[in-house]
Structure 1
Amino acid sequence: MSTLRRCGIVVSLLAVPLAACTGDGPASPRATPEPTGASRVEPRAGLVDDEGTPVEVPVPARPTGTSHDVTDLGADPEPGTGDDAPAIREALAAARAGDEVVLPAGVYDLRSADPDDGDANLLLADDVWLRGAGPGATVLRTSFDGEDDSAVVRGEGVENAAVSGLTITSAYDGELGTDPDEEGPGGGPMYGVQIGEDDGEGSRRVLVEDVSVERFQRHGITVKASRQVTVTGCRVADATSVGPGGSGYGIAVEGRADQRDPDAGNDSRHNVVVGNRLDGTHLRHGVLLQFPTHHNLVADNVIDGGVLDAIDLHGEGEYLNEIRDNTVTGVDAAAVALGNSGGEENPHDASGEGNWVHGNRLVGNERGVLVILGTPDTLVEGNEIVGRDDSVAGIELRNAPGTVVRDNTVTGDDGDFWAILVAEDDGADGRGAGAATDVLIADNRLTGAGNGIDVQAGSDIEVAGNEVDVDGTPWQVGEGAEVDGAPP
């Protein structure tokens, strides 16, 4: 049972204290207050509207109507006993607003697609809850194996729908993905849970709770062109591919390419990814935001390891999102990255403006926070970053105009490590090349066996009030870099 299901969550500046439990089902996270102190990052990021007014993200009410037990309609919870998908679909069709479709403990084999969607086993219904007995207890096992756009559970243009308490897996029993440069091996469904739009209207007020997804190819849980979708208490692991072109994402929140109209029915905003666990051993990215999705909250997730950047703003215009109080460990890339080069077939560059990265604990990663390719006006504050013996930097800025780095604690563990590094950006095939401008580095505490602040390139770089107590070089400025401020 997840925290969100039992208690309200208060989204605060540096922590998420629990509000009083209501006992009446899930409460909605409350919006984040404005960053304290002087900030160049305006308007505010996170769960606020375009005017900065706090926004409450509602979740579906607990069922109060009829419970439809799928075993009463012929579903057999013993594994390998036939196709259980028709009985589950019959229960979903019979359910009315406020009802729930219940899957008792067992393994349900899904061997057919919905007649209304040849690429999905099950379709969510408005105002209906699809509920298992808990992840590991109730298992949906699909026979999809690499089919384009295949999904086990799909909701398109749905409202007030929920899926909870189950594991989604596949009959695929081959190798898992490990190589980010190779498309294979691949297998299983493309998506575990897919929430999206229908005829230009996104889904709204959807809850994905206590769901475990494994043995999929592209995204474990994906939310596209929708708003007010909450993903909480979920676990994602073991993608069958981590190759280029969109494989191996744990939880993805996406907008539509080049769509920044907040009045559009498929505008992507006010989605919540909170309190999830991601095993990154076979994930390309743990949590990913891509295309112009905005004012989302990614909080209190735990990511262990990863093939590439763990929390990735994918370099396609993602803006005014809040990334806070996550724990990321053991990634051979960046724990949090803003901007992404993409590849030859899918070139990317900068993330959008005003994203807020704060209160995260980033331990033993190659880099803590990385801002590149012209991503503007990022606020990086109040993070705890601890390097390992081969880490490169705690916070690394390349072409990152208007970035504010303040009140972070960074500890190094190696003589080659720099707590804060500002460097030239070579760009990606010419996209996003350049150096940082108008950057503030203030009031950070830098300690340990590594080095302090290295400004190799950039202009209008202000450095003030940092506490540097390192074994290595506390401070250096490259030829041609323009820095305002005395050495720490």
Structure 2
Amino acid sequence: MMKGFVRKSRRSPAHSWWVALGLVVLLTACTVEESAGPVGSDDVVEPAPSGHGDWQVPGLVDRSGSPIEVPTPGPATGRTLDVTDFGADPDPDSHDDAAAIRAALDAAEPGDEVLLPAGTYDLRTTDPSDKPANIVLRSGVNLRGEGQERTVLLTSLDGKDDSAVIRGSGVHDVIVANFTITSRHEGPLGEDTEDGDAGGGPMYGIHLGAHEGQASSRVLVKNLGIRRFERHGISVKNSREVTLSGNYISEATAVGPGGQGYGIAIEGSADQHDPDAANDSRHNVVIGNTFDGRHLRHAILLQFPTHNNLVAENTIVGSLLDAIDLHGEGEYLNEIRDNTVIGGQQAGIALGNPGGAKNKHDASGPGNWVHSNDLIGNRQGVLVILGTPDTLINDNWINAGKDSKAGIEVRNAPGTELHGNHITGGTDGFWAIRLSEDRGTDGRGKGIPSGIRIECNVIRQVANGIRVDAGEDLSMVENVVDGINGAKLRVADGIEVSRSAQRSSSTKAMNFAVQK
């Protein structure tokens, strides 16, 4: 029986606060009710249609916009093949256990599972059919350990190009669960985001991709620990209906430019823009994972034109760059909700990325939806830059720390809408919401905010409220700004901001329709 994840929201767009008269500065009149924090709701605020082909609605939906369930494989229905019966030795420092694990997989039939009993399995050889990989998955065959802390795969791969401890190419109906992947790398862990020479261990812990144009699909990766890798802990490329759940990822050996140190990466392909293609990247689910970001460049990254994915209920503590990053290569109609990001050195959630000397990026695609996240002590809670269009940012709870610069920062990001966000905290230089010019990167993404709507946000007990340094066609209505130490509102000379509560019927219907 297939099970799946469906889209949901735990907070209401109507969530707000009652405020005593005389204690609140309103940018326009706003009716609010008292609340101590996040509350549950089945209400959903939808962002605008993206205009990207006939895909119109973000998240886990079909082309018509109807919610879908992403199928995940059920438990094995056939035999359980114990790798120790094929010669694997669960004691540490055995000669090689990879060959026995491969033999068990080769002997399995669809519906079977290969069991890794508790112990440490030394992976010293690679698959003859895929020489950079220790283990190659087979469709319909599950690979299961006896617990994330009880079963360990220890690879000897060290810096080999395209190397992966586990690879699946064009596979389907597979569960990989309940063990840890690590390496014999004993060097330093990644700390310097400018160091392109650091590294060690395998390039990927798990790499899932297409084969001859056919995506991997209906794959569940759950309850894994992954550490001491160079590029991606889990890499999902040109695949769909892949669910990553309950994994713990940490300790990248490198965090330099060019794709090092990503916890989980969901990728399309730079030259793939056809949603009808068999390897179109969509309907992947990253849910309930935990990241120790002290040695991660990004915890979760979406890049190239991947779309209609869900990133939800993940916990990220620390991150050297943007923790959840839509990487400025056309990612569109993705839903980012109910995540907790704490203490990131850059943005908690970022849309658009300048790239570096080797890889030059700019805007993410249209129609991404960022909502109901808890963003605590990051440099920016949410950052939208370089021309990323039509993003809806609503019902996020942003609590700034002493090093935070902005709750929500919008540069050149046409059509961005900020609705129902709660922002608090911060010290002298912090602004709850800031609009400014984007100077671009090597000429890419330069511009000013345009078509920005700032509505029904609650800004309380912060250093400064709303700052507008640049922009055009700006609307600011029904926001609550209370208990501000510095400036409540600062608008640069020559910039007009509409205070009208009226919106066109089309905008209201498309952008803030409440669905129950």
What RMSD in Å do the two structures reach over aligned CA positions?
A: 1.7
Matches within 5 A, 1:82-481: 82-469=95-482, 470-481=484-495
* 1:36 and 2:50 correspond: no
Q: From the superposition, tell whether residues 229 and 8 of structure 1 become closer, same or farther in structure 2 (CA, over 3 Å).
A: closer
Deviation at residue 336 of structure 1 after TM alignment? 0.1
Letter in 1 for 2:406: A
- Report what 1:485 is aligned to: 499
Give 1:71's match in structure 2, choosing from 84, 90, 109.
84
Deviation at residue 56 of structure 1 after TM alignment? 1.0
Deviation at residue 476 of structure 1 after TM alignment? 1.0
Distance 1:398 1:55 in 2: 34
Distance 2:258 2:48 in 1: 35
On the 8 A contact 2:6/2:69 being kept in 1, the answer is no
Distance 1:188 1:447 in 2: 47
Distance 2:496 2:96 in 1: 67
Deviation at residue 481 of structure 1 after TM alignment? 2.4
Deviation at residue 311 of structure 1 after TM alignment? 0.1
Q: Relative CO higher for 1 or 2, CA cutoff 8 Å, sep ≥ 6? A: 2
Q: TM-score, normalised by structure 1?
A: 0.93
Secondary structure of 1:166 counterpart: strand
Matches within 5 A, 1:26-65: 35-36=44-45, 39-42=47-50, 43-65=56-78
On the 8 A contact 2:475/2:500 being kept in 1, the answer is no
Deviations 1:220-273 (A, max 9, x none): 001000000000000110000000000000000000113121110110000000
Secondary structure of 1:438 counterpart: coil
Letter in 2 for 1:279: D
Ranges in structure 1 where 5+ consecutive residues have no aligned partner: 17-31
Letter in 1 for 2:289: N
On the 8 A contact 1:306/1:332 being kept in 2, the answer is yes
Is the deviation greater in 47-56 or in 115-124?
47-56
Distance 1:58 1:247 in 2: 30
On the 8 A contact 2:477/2:499 being kept in 1, the answer is yes
Letter in 2 for 1:485: R
Distance 1:40 1:193 in 2: 35
On the 8 A contact 2:5/2:70 being kept in 1, the answer is no
* 1:13 and 2:9 correspond: yes
Distance 2:42 2:102 in 1: 43
On the 8 A contact 1:40/1:404 being kept in 2, the answer is no
Deviation at residue 412 of structure 1 after TM alignment? 2.4
Secondary structure of 1:331 counterpart: coil
Superposed structure 1 runs of 4+ greater than 6 Å apart: none
On the 8 A contact 1:250/1:287 being kept in 2, the answer is yes
Deviation at residue 449 of structure 1 after TM alignment? 3.4
Secondary structure of 2:465 counterpart: strand
Q: From the superposition, tell whether residues 33 and 379 of structure 1 become closer, same or farther in structure 2 (CA, over 3 Å).
A: farther
On the 8 A contact 2:149/2:180 being kept in 1, the answer is yes
Q: From the superposition, tell whether residues 394 and 254 of structure 1 become closer, same or farther in structure 2 (CA, over 3 Å).
A: same
On the 8 A contact 1:34/1:44 being kept in 2, the answer is no
Percent of aligned positions that are identical: 56
On the 8 A contact 2:464/2:488 being kept in 1, the answer is yes
On the 8 A contact 1:186/1:241 being kept in 2, the answer is yes
Letter in 2 for 1:482: E
Deviation at residue 184 of structure 1 after TM alignment? 3.3
Aligned residues: 466
Letter in 2 for 1:481: I
Deviations 1:150-175 (A, max 9, x none): 00000000010121000000011110
